[in-house]
Amino acid sequence: MQPELSSRIESDDSTAGPVLLLFSTAVVWLFIGSIFGLVAALKFNFPDWLGTIPSLTFGRIRPAHLNTVIYGWASLALGGVYVWLTARLCRTEIRWKNLLYISAIIWNIAVLYGTIEILIGNSMGQEWLEFPKATAYMITVAAICFSLSILQTFRKRNVEHIYISLWYILASALWFPLLYFLAYLPIYKGVTQAASNWWYAHNVLTVWFTPAGLAAAYYFIPKVIGRPIHSYYLSLIGFWTFALFYNWNGIHHLVGGPLPTWLISVSIIASVLMFIPVIAVAINHHLTMVGHFSKLKYSPTLRFVVFGAVSYTAVSFQGSLEAIRTQSEITHFTHYTIGHAHLGLYAFVTMILFGSIYYIMPRIIRWEWPNPSLIKVHFWLVAAGIILYVISMNLGGFIQGLYMNDASRPFMDSVELTKPYLFARSIGGSLMLLGQLVFIYLFSLMLFRKGVYRIMPPWSETTAEVTSE
């Protein structure tokens, strides 16, 4: 066996236990969070539905959906991707593996406890920071354990060159525990609490979710098509301008609020400057793919990851424009913001996580995905669902904002006009849930090694199949 191939197998085997634990629990939270999300969406169409059950009122079910999806599904899934990628890119075995098990267990207990507290009415009342403080302390400890393992693996690496994906992973490992700890310090009151809230809410995208999506895209696109990234220097420009500008963006959510004008202006300028790293990443990904788009037909990983990479460009452009005062005045307190959030966390981050899991799982459990047709069904259901969701929320939200700013129109007009868009949102959400049920079914088959034993990937026409026991 070639030394490089042997090294990959050793790396994959060393990560199998923690990655399976992280992916499996992430999938459970994906199911729970999706049910919460669908219930919240349907309440816009049927406001009285489940209204007599306090735990299932909109004010509790919506933050329960947000927190189970971001801290349950997305965080645990990206944790698994980080562990696997770090070992692969460092060409070594994962180090301090027990810390990863401890991290995953504490993290899951924290999300379970925090979700129950939200449902019984003990939310902290700040967006993205609804979990009670006990949960925050547990997640901070879990994040530190996770980061220590990643950093120790990097320290023991067997390569000199640090690939761009590792830059993003190391940034996350260093920044996220500090960010989460600082956000929960009991020192913010009044206006500073609002500023710290949105500083955190935007920076958790900066240091946790966006780096995960970009690290995976930079690894899987060249890997699947079999060619190097178009320009390594361009990827470094993208990383450093991303690190420089992105952490200032959060305060643009408070345009018109009681904060110093200079502070909001700096945030708006930094948001517009985000065009630089986003364009750098978009050019790099696109020129890497040129001549290889036909491979989207055959590789589910490439299909999901490219969809996510394109969505990253779209959501970033949209975010920069939303930061400008004239647009913020129209869209900020409307459904447009909901569409923007789902374009980022679902169309970008979640789609890339799906693609990453499709690539990683066969390599850690030595079992190919069963039923290629269902993988296509998964992709088209969630892709159609999120496109319908984002278009309906963006279009309906923009018109809603114009109505709300028109003093001659009664407020209820801005509510009535959104009904068809909210109905479309519920259909989009239902399609996404159906696609996720297909994914959960496929993941369960993989986890228990059901279906047929395959020598080649199932999407290959030359697949050789042997009936399993």
Pick the residue with more confidence: 51 or 401? 401
The per-residue pLDDT for 464 is 39
**Average pLDDT of the residues in 367-396:** 93
The per-residue pLDDT for 265 is 92
Instruction: State the pLDDT confidence band at 462, using cuts at 50, 70 and 90.
Output: very low
Residue 460 has pLDDT above 70, yes or no: no
Residue 1 has pLDDT above 70, yes or no: no
Residue 156 has pLDDT above 50, yes or no: yes
Percent of the chain scoring above 70 in pLDDT: 96
Residue 168 has pLDDT above 80, yes or no: yes
Pick the residue with more confidence: 45 or 154? 154
Q: Which amino acid is at 439?
A: F
**Do residues 130 and 76 lie in contact, with contact meaning Cβ atoms separated by under 8 Å?**
no
Would you say the pTM of this structure is higher than 0.85? yes
The per-residue pLDDT for 366 is 85
CB count in 10 Å sphere of residue 169: 29
Residue 468 has pLDDT above 60, yes or no: no
50 Ramachandran zone, left/alpha/beta (phi>0; psi -120 to 50)? left
> Residue 454 forms beta bridges with which residues?
465
Instruction: State the pLDDT confidence band at 380, using cuts at 50, 70 and 90.
Output: very high
d(C-alpha 225, C-alpha 239), whole Å: 23
**Do residues 224 and 301 lie in contact, with contact meaning Cβ atoms separated by under 8 Å?**
yes
The per-residue pLDDT for 454 is 64
The per-residue pLDDT for 238 is 92
The per-residue pLDDT for 5 is 76
**Do residues 443 and 26 lie in contact, with contact meaning Cβ atoms separated by under 8 Å?**
no
How does pLDDT run across 339-375, given as a tens digit for each residue?
999 999 999 999 999 999 999 999 998 888 888 889 9
Of the candidates 142, 341, 314, the one whose C-alpha atom is nearest the C-alpha of residue 253 is: 341
Residue 298 has pLDDT above 80, yes or no: yes
Residue 458 has pLDDT above 80, yes or no: no
How does pLDDT run across 26-40, given as a tens digit for each residue?
999 999 999 999 899
**Average pLDDT of the residues in 366-388:** 92
Q: What is the mean pLDDT of the chain?
A: 90
Poorest-confidence range of 119-123, 245-249, 326-330, 453-457?
453-457
**Average pLDDT of the residues in 271-279:** 93
How does pLDDT run across 97-117, given as a tens digit for each residue?
999 999 999 999 999 999 999
> How long a stretch of residues is the chain?
469
For β-strands 465-467 and 452-454, DSSP reports them as: antiparallel
Of the candidates 298, 297, 306, 287, the one whose C-alpha atom is nearest the C-alpha of residue 217 is: 306
How does pLDDT run across 47-95, given as a tens digit for each residue?
888 888 999 999 999 999 999 999 999 999 999 999 999 999 999 999 9
**Average pLDDT of the residues in 439-464:** 71
**Do residues 462 and 376 lie in contact, with contact meaning Cβ atoms separated by under 8 Å?**
no
Residue 469 has pLDDT above 90, yes or no: no
**Average pLDDT of the residues in 413-437:** 94
- SS3 string, the chain, reads CCHHHHHHHHHHHHHHHHHHHHHHHHHHHHHHHHHHHHHHHHHHHCCCCCCCCHHHCHHHHHHHHHHHHHHHHHHHHHHHHHHHHHHHHHCCCCCCHHHHHHHHHHHHHHHHHHHHHHHCCCCCCCCCCCCCHHHHHHHHHHHHHHHHHHHHHHHCCCCCCCCHHHHHHHHHHHHHHHHHHHHCCCCCCCHHHHHHHHHHHHHHHHHHHHHHHHHHHHHHHHHHHCCCCCCHHHHHHHHHHHHHHHHHHHHHHHCCCCCCHHHHHHHHHHHHHCHHHHHHHHHHHHHHHCCCHHHHHCCHHHHHHHHHHHHHHHHHHHHHHHHCHHHHHHHCCCHHHHHHHHHHHHHHHHHHHHHHHHHHHHHHHCCCCCCHHHHHHHHHHHHHHHHHHHHHHHHHHHHHHHHHCCCCCCHHHHHHCCHHHHHHHHHHHHHHHHHHHHHHHHHHHHHCCCCEEECCCCCCCCCCEEECC
The per-residue pLDDT for 467 is 32
Distances (CA, A) of 223 to 18, 28, 134, 243: 23, 29, 41, 25
